[in-house]
């Protein structure tokens, strides 16, 4: 199946990243264009629609958030499937989901997102203008809508049950008295590589986005510090609220962490590194975790000649009490330094002040 991609001009500096997202879900990209001006009714201008109409592709991928009328009008004009950025992300999530909970969360997000679309489709179907959109027949939309609503309620109930089980497990861990270190970061930054390095496990790592979709936890003993470390789902620019709400519920762990390690791919362009750090901060704020101590691990420094400039630039973008440590998970560079920092932060947290000051007093 061939896809044609539209990239809005706001992502002009991140074309590779956006195309990598598309490729993860749909491997055969015919071509892409940058869309400078959008139209509220059809998203693309009439001109552009006419131009791409004759091209040989099966699906149109729009790396933007489409409004229901834009969706429906594009489908009507092109007589082909249309998928927007949120649905691409959900598609990738669905392909990678490793647990029942993850699958249900994705289904809930998709239902929440497609319900308004179905409503709009009902409106058009009543006008006799739409056939077969979203898999429903001309007279089947209302029935289809009711079925989706019922399914949504069922998924919600099942998710509640699963979350309860997980929170009981988490409580048991807290009661066991072990502090909790959570690794977060942009997708592909190397979270799982770090998790594996710290735990000696070998969970799957890979260059494509969203290799990890279910948080994994494991115990680490380092000198006199014992803690639980958790690997998480990768961050991404402009995560749609529909995805945050349902899927990122698995990030509940982050809000209860004692220390957060935010891992960043330092081998990217400096503007991207900073923009990823800002995206990370924004997401931590949204999930109520930006008040935690954060250690920034600048990963993949083995790919750099020198990490001096990225280090000094990143330091300008973090809070005074946060730390920045250049590391390489592949070359096992500075991992001890990172562990020392984690240990130090856990000690400070336990005593409220620095251990040495405590002794002096
Ligand atoms: N050169 C180099 N590559 C690294 C390093 N750490 C990780 N990588 C590579 O970066 C890619 C992504 O690593 P992962 O550990 O899967 O990243 P992640 O953050 O867990 O990614 P997702 O789970 O997809 O969000 C893999 O191809 C790793 O081999 C490093 O220190 N140096
Ligand atoms: Mg991973």
Number of structural domains (the chain) is 3
* 162 located within any domain: no
Quick one: which ligand is closest to 196's CA? 1
- Listed residues 57, 79, 95: the one ending a domain: 95
List the 225-231 sheet strands across, edge first. Answer: 216-222, 225-231, 180-185, 259-265, 294-299, 323-326
CA distance 69 to 139: 19
Query: Ligand 1, residues 93, 96, 102, 188: which to mutate, most atoms within 8 A of Cβ?
Result: 188
pLDDT of the residue at 188: 92
**Do 137 and 255 fall into the same domain?**
no
- Got the DSSP string for 113-174? HHHHHHHHHHHHHHTT---SGGG--TTTHHHHHHHHHHHHHHHHHHHHHHHHHHHHHHHHHH
Q: Which two tokens stand for residue 141?
A: 């939309």
Residue 354 has pLDDT above 60, yes or no: no
For the CA of 303, the closest atom of ligand 1 is 1
**Do 111 and 85 fall into the same domain?**
no
The whole model's pTM is what? 0.82
186-228 per-position pLDDT tens digit: 989 999 999 999 999 999 899 888 888 777 889 999 988 899 9
**Do 146 and 82 fall into the same domain?**
no
Residue 361 has pLDDT above 60, yes or no: no
Residue of 208, 265, 212 lying closest to 23 (CA atoms): 208
Q: Which two tokens stand for residue 16?
A: 């590779």
Task: Find the residues whose C-beta lies inside 6 A of ligand 1.
Answer: 185, 187-193, 205-207, 209-212, 234, 299-300, 302-303, 328-330
What is the percent of the chain where pLDDT is above 70?
Answer: 89
303-339 per-position pLDDT tens digit: 999 999 999 999 999 999 999 999 999 999 999 999 9
- Residue 59's domain comprises 2-95
**Do 310 and 320 fall into the same domain?**
yes
- Residue 63: pLDDT band (50, 70, 90) is very high
* 8 located within any domain: yes
């Amino acid at each position: 199946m061939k896809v044609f991609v539209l990239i809005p001009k706001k992502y002009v500096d991140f074309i590779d990243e956006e195309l990598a997202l598309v490729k993860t879900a749909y491997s055969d990209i015919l071509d892409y264009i940058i869309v400078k001006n959008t139209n509220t009714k059809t998203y693309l201008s009439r001109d552009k629609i006419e131009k791409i109409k004759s091209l040989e592709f099966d699906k149109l991928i729009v790396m933007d958030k489409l409004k229901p009328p834009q969706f429906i009008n594009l489908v009507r004009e092109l007589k082909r499937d249309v998928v927007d950025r949120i649905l691409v992300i959900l598609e990738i999530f669905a392909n990678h989901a490793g647990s029942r909970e993850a699958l249900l969360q994705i289904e809930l997000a998709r239902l929440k997102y497609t319900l308004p679309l179905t409503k709009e489709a009902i409106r058009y179907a009543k006008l006799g203008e739409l056939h077969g959109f979203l898999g429903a027949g001309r007279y089947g939309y209302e029935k289809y809508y009711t079925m989706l609503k019922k399914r949504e309620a069922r998924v919600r109930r099942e998710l509640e049950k699963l979350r309860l089980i997980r929170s009981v497990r988490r409580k048991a861990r807290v009661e066991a008295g072990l502090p909790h270190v959570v690794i977060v970061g942009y997708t592909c930054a190397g979270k799982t590589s770090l998790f594996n390095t710290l735990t000696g496990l070998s969970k799957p790592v890979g260059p494509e986005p969203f290799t990890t979709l279910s948080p994994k936890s494991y115990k680490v003993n380092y000198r006199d510090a014992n803690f639980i470390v958790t690997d998480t789902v990768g961050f991404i620019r402009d995560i749609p609220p529909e995805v945050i709400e349902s899927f990122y519920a698995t990030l509940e762990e982050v809000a209860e962490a004692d220390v957060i390690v935010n891992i960043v791919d330092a081998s990217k362009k400096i503007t991207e590194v900073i923009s990823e750090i800002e995206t990370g901060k924004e997401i931590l704020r949204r999930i109520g975790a930006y008040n935690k101590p954060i250690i920034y691990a600048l990963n993949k420094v083995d790919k750099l000649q020198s990490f001096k400039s990225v280090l000094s630039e990143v330091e300008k973008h973090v809070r005074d009490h946060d730390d920045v440590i250049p590391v390489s998970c592949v070359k096992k560079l500075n991992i001890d330094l990172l562990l020392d920092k984690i240990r130090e932060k856990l000690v400070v947290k336990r005593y409220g002040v620095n251990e040495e000051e405590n002794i002096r007093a």
